Structure 1
Amino acid sequence: MKKSAYTDFALEPGLVQLNHASYGLTSRHVMNMADSERYRIESDPTLHLGSELTDGLRSRTSRTAEMLGLDVSRTTFCTNATSGAAAVIGSLPLAAGDTVVVLDAEYSSIIRAWATACERVSAHLLEVPVPLPLQSSDQMLTVLNSAVPGSVTYMQLSVISSSAALRLPIEDIASWVRERGGRLILDVAHAPGHIPVAPDAWGAAAMFGTLHKWLPTLRPVGLLWLTGDLVDRIRPAEVSLTWDSPDLVERFSWPGTFDPVPRLTATSAIDQWEQWHDAGLLAECERLADLGSELLTEVGAQPTASTELAAPRMRAFVLSGVTVAEIKAVLRKADIRAWVGPGPQGECLLRFATHIYNDQHDLEALAGRIKEALPR
């Protein structure tokens, strides 16, 4: 672990942290800013949680939209990616006989949300298996054409899938969805602060995600973006005081009593992230991810994606001949934190993510433990 960057975070000494992609990691700078913000709110909560809160959230939303290249009039904070998904899925028109397509590599709670919505109105949900490793866009389109015989109403798609860390071919799949007469809904939980987001260019109808996975914000901070015709239609899943506000930011600014500090300090996290970016630290994280992929492949782990479809700073691997429980135990004993879990078909998946505090020794330690665990 890089000592120079270690002091930016509150990580336990000696811990090899390669799993910030699960929950994010707040920096000390943002935690300090949050403490100041909380003291300010507690000095007069009637004012600071009342009349001035929406204006504060609006200014932070504007800064976030600017950083991400989004139209601020179609962008808002929300609680987290799950709440953003619930708002979209619960507000979109869906009728008996409609078809919703999801990939089995999608986050499980999002698949369940669509399944619930489809069951409620007798719509069809098609869950399409993603082959691992995924080698090309053409392979994915072939699978879609085989699994989906007719028209599509909506397709749910992650820009970068969670457990398998696939950087999916958005433009090609978006074209496929349009050809089938459908609309594309994007999950970008693993995009802001990791890769550029371009929902207009991708042809998306709606996009939900988080900031706290790849930016050093407090958790949670959700993000919601909508195409023009959906701005007035999408409502929060919880019916609160501002549920029917004509203003998008105000509509999502009060989900009942909540802690607004993660949203109010998001711009502090963006400022720090931009400093890291300008100093070349994030580019170094991408180099480390490439190194980690090489090391794990050498010891027998199989990448879930071709180089073309690999995410810049998050990589996943199929581990054959071992169980999820075995790998979790090995890594926990070594104080190495990486995500380990079942793949869509029950495979044992290992996923790591690199951050500015990681160095070559961290990836070597991970690969060494996996080499010892895999059957020879």
Structure 2
Amino acid sequence: MDIDDFALDPSFAHLNHGSFGAAPRHVLKRQDELRREMERDPDSFFATVLDRIAKARHEIAAFLGSDPEGLAFVTNVTEGVAVALNSVPLAPGDEILIGDHIYGAVEIAARRTAARTGAKVVQVTLPGRADGEWTGEQAAETFLGAVTPRTKLAVFDHITSSTARLLPVRRLVDGFRALGVVTIVDAAHAPGMVDVDVSELGADFWTGNLHKWAFAPRPSGVLAVAPQWRDRVEPVIVSFFQRDGFPRSVEFQGTRDYTPWLAAPHALAFATPEVRVRNAALVARGQRILAEIAGLVPWRSDPELSMRVLRLPPGIAETTEQAEALSADIFRQLGCHTGIKPWPGAGLLRLSAQTYNHDSHYTHLATGLRTLLKR
């Protein structure tokens, strides 16, 4: 697939797939057909939509290695995390364990849950904070070493967002379970980027996006729930089918737009192992190009991922305002979309690679960025 297979503007270099994703034209065509069907006969569409959602869910479950009865569609990981947090009983003095690479919205949700329940958020700092030089085992030891008798819940990433690192999910889930700690895994970037077997991972709650690396229309995500929690799931928004329990209690919300979920199975044909291998190799070359031409410092990376990170020079993009300004300058002057993230003591540039990207995109960014940063 190339840029012509997407609805993207070909005059820009889209190097930020990890933020919002992009669905192929073929998938968008299927979604448009579903929307036209809905508008032609809303009564018939909504009368049958639950059965059609269930069919789509079974196809997505097979792709993710999940029990279809333990999987629910959600709009995105933010919703999935919110449902999970809403379902775990917490009391004053309980601790919620999070890491310092956590996605911002998930941290906010954890802290709001703590404020509502009287629990306390404990944030652990992974080693190598300035350069990403930590291994999966070091990350596991840091997380598990922070558990106390008050730790009730651990929220951690499958793949970190700002820093593009793969965490040892199975090691963490097993370790936390042995210590009696409930697990919520933010797997926003996992579906379609890495091989996933949700049942084998065994997390209490695992939630991922389909519209990032699995080529589905926005917004579409899933929430997988372990058997012991399914009867205790509390949706954030209560619907008519609350009485049916999980997953319908989470999925059905009246006249919401269900077409992204119904079209999601049509996207799976594009999320192949060959695409993942190609993207991982391309973004590795992109990282080297930015390092060699623009002089940026590569962070440690995981070879199977389609995202890589480089550190910007000192004093650049170290705050949210600076990062947003640099991102706007890069787009305005170079015609490139990138992921610029503030990080303590550094600004980070996150690169993505998708089938519509080529080496020339990274060379163009690197050459222009070298000049832009000198100013």
Q: Which residue of 2 aligns with 1:316?
A: 309
Q: Which residue of 2 aligns with 1:245?
A: 244
Q: Which residue of 2 aligns with 1:98?
A: 94
SS of the aligned residue for 1:11 comes to coil
Q: Which residue of 1 aligns with 2:295?
A: 300
SS of the aligned residue for 2:241 comes to coil
Calculate the TM-score normalised by the size of structure 2. 0.90
Equivalent pair of 2:136/2:166 in contact (CA under 8 Å): no
Distance change (3 Å), C-alpha of 1:150 and 1:318? farther
Within 5 A, what are the aligned runs for 1:14-53?
14-49=11-46, 51-53=47-49
For 1:146 and 1:81, locate their aligned partners in 2 and report how far apart those are by CA, in whole Å: 27
For 2:340 and 2:345, locate their aligned partners in 1 and report how far apart those are by CA, in whole Å: 12
Equivalent pair of 2:70/2:226 in contact (CA under 8 Å): yes
Q: Which residue of 2 aligns with 1:368?
A: 367
| Farther-moved stretch of structure 1 (195-204 vs 350-359) | 195-204
Post-superposition offset of 1:65: 0.5
Within 5 A, what are the aligned runs for 1:173-252?
173-246=172-245, 248-252=246-250
Identity of aligned residues (%): 29
Which of 4, 13, 21 is matched with 1:7 structurally? Answer: 4
For 1:79 and 1:17, locate their aligned partners in 2 and report how far apart those are by CA, in whole Å: 23
| Farther-moved stretch of structure 1 (146-155 vs 223-232) | 146-155
SS of the aligned residue for 1:171 comes to helix
Within 5 A, what are the aligned runs for 1:103-182?
103-130=99-126, 131=129, 132-141=131-140, 143-144=142-143, 150-182=149-181
Q: Given residue 300 of structure 1, which amino acid in structure 2 is its aligned partner?
A: G
Post-superposition offset of 1:127: 1.4
Equivalent pair of 2:73/2:251 in contact (CA under 8 Å): yes
Distance change (3 Å), C-alpha of 1:113 and 1:281? closer
Q: Given residue 23 of structure 2, which amino acid in structure 1 is its aligned partner?
A: T
For 2:100 and 2:349, locate their aligned partners in 1 and report how far apart those are by CA, in whole Å: 17
Post-superposition offset of 1:150: 5.0
For 1:33 and 1:125, locate their aligned partners in 2 and report how far apart those are by CA, in whole Å: 43
| Structure 1: gaps spanning 5 or more residues | none
Calculate the TM-score normalised by the size of structure 1. 0.90
For 2:36 and 2:114, locate their aligned partners in 1 and report how far apart those are by CA, in whole Å: 45
Deviations 1:319-356 (A, max 9, x none): 1222325532442111111111212x253111111111
SS of the aligned residue for 2:240 comes to coil
Q: Which residue of 1 aligns with 2:320?
A: none
| Farther-moved stretch of structure 1 (355-364 vs 313-322) | 313-322
| Structure 2: gaps spanning 5 or more residues | 318-322
Q: Given residue 254 of structure 1, which amino acid in structure 2 is its aligned partner?
A: F
Q: Which residue of 1 aligns with 2:256?
A: 258
Distance change (3 Å), C-alpha of 1:151 and 1:212? same
Deviations 1:118-161 (A, max 9, x none): 11222111012232413213432454466555552111011001
Q: Given residue 27 of structure 1, which amino acid in structure 2 is its aligned partner?
A: P
Equivalent pair of 2:340/2:350 in contact (CA under 8 Å): yes
Post-superposition offset of 1:75: 0.8
Deviations 1:211-260 (A, max 9, x none): 001122211012010111011111210011112313x3322232232111
For 1:372 and 1:175, locate their aligned partners in 2 and report how far apart those are by CA, in whole Å: 48
Distance change (3 Å), C-alpha of 1:313 and 1:347? same
Equivalent pair of 1:9/1:27 in contact (CA under 8 Å): yes
- Root-mean-square deviation (Å): 2.1
SS of the aligned residue for 1:84 comes to helix
For 2:78 and 2:254, locate their aligned partners in 1 and report how far apart those are by CA, in whole Å: 16
For 1:141 and 1:253, locate their aligned partners in 2 and report how far apart those are by CA, in whole Å: 33
For 1:370 and 1:311, locate their aligned partners in 2 and report how far apart those are by CA, in whole Å: 26
Q: How many residues align?
A: 364
Post-superposition offset of 1:34: 1.3
For 1:37 and 1:116, locate their aligned partners in 2 and report how far apart those are by CA, in whole Å: 37
Deviations 1:39-78 (A, max 9, x none): 11122111211x2110000000000101111111111111
Q: Given residue 307 of structure 2, which amino acid in structure 1 is its aligned partner?
A: M
SS of the aligned residue for 1:350 comes to strand
Q: Which has the higher contact order (CA 8 A, sep 6+)?
A: 1
Distance change (3 Å), C-alpha of 1:291 and 1:175? same
